[in-house]
Amino acid sequence: MSLYSNLPDSTEDAVSLLGSVSLFRSLKEDELEFAAGQLRRRAYGPGVTLFHQGMPGSSLYVIAEGSVRVFAVGLTGQEHTFTTFGPGNFFGELSVIDGLPRTASAITLDHSVLWLMARESFSRLLDVSPAFCRAVVENLAGRIRRSATHVESIIFQDVLGRVAFEVLNLADRHGRRADGVIEIDMPLTQSDLATIVGATRESVNKALAALRKQGLLEMEGTQLQVLDPDKLMELVGRRGR
């Protein structure tokens, strides 16, 4: 059985999607239409590995629906999750820019619809669009800053602080307010969360239980809710940078 299915390509749908993506929204109309014409749409089921660490990188991915986890696997088999992406996000740009192998692996967390741009088309857009070049640099800078902040949280926080910090990060990137709480629209298990904060599932389970007891969040299955983001932020501040 195929791991993905090709969907009909619609330039109109692609233009609409790219207009909401930070990497493309500053493009001129003709540049945006060119970029949209280079995309190919595919649908994936949950748990499909899109690429493995060390593979050649031939495509940029833009998410229309669903979510993706980007992670690395150590020599002992332990996983570390670098980040998660949802609709309107893009990923896979490093190998597309420099032509070197993938630095991480990527897997779908649920049913996902992705648009793919080949490396040749990406390079052509860099050649003709100064706005696209600026957007690439700005987005790379933003990701470097987020990576530095993630490393700081792992170094300076205990497990409870790390879990609280990453829950706030997930809420900021994937959250939506509903009935006074922030629902995180990202299907993460406790094991997934453990790979993000660099801890065991058992210690993450204890941290989540402590945060629930304080009335700061709820986790049912793969759904996270932040009940009091201000107090959760205060807790992070008290437990270290």
Instruction: Please report the pLDDT score of residue 149 as a whole number.
Output: 87
49 and 138 belong to one structural domain: yes
Domain boundary among 152, 180, 201: 152
146 and 229 belong to one structural domain: no
Cα–Cα distances (Å) from 41 to 115, 185, 188, in that order, read 4, 22, 25
Quote the domain boundaries for residue 215: 157-238
Instruction: Please report the pLDDT score of residue 112 as a whole number.
Output: 96
33 and 135 belong to one structural domain: yes
23 and 130 belong to one structural domain: yes
pTM, two decimal places: 0.89
Q: In whole angstroms, what is the distance from residue 19 CA to residue 1 CA?
A: 34
Q: In whole angstroms, what is the distance from residue 49 CA to residue 91 CA?
A: 14
168 and 232 belong to one structural domain: yes
CATH, residue 228: 1.10.10.10
Domain boundary among 152, 184, 207: 152
In the chain the beta strands, taken as DSSP E runs, fall at 4-6, 39-44, 49-51, 59-65, 68-73, 79-85, 90-91, 105-108, 112-118, 175-178, 181-184, 217-220, 223-226
72 and 148 belong to one structural domain: yes
In the chain, how many domains are there?
2
175 and 96 belong to one structural domain: no
The greatest distance separating any two alpha carbons of the chain, rounded to the nearest whole angstrom, comes to: 55
116 and 180 belong to one structural domain: no
98 and 172 belong to one structural domain: no
Domain boundary among 104, 120, 152: 152
96 and 194 belong to one structural domain: no
Spell out, as residue ranges, where the chain has pLDDT lower than 50: 1
Q: What tens digit of pLDDT does each residue of 20-78 get?
A: 999 999 999 999 999 999 999 999 999 999 999 999 999 999 999 999 999 999 888 88
22 and 87 belong to one structural domain: yes
148 and 165 belong to one structural domain: no
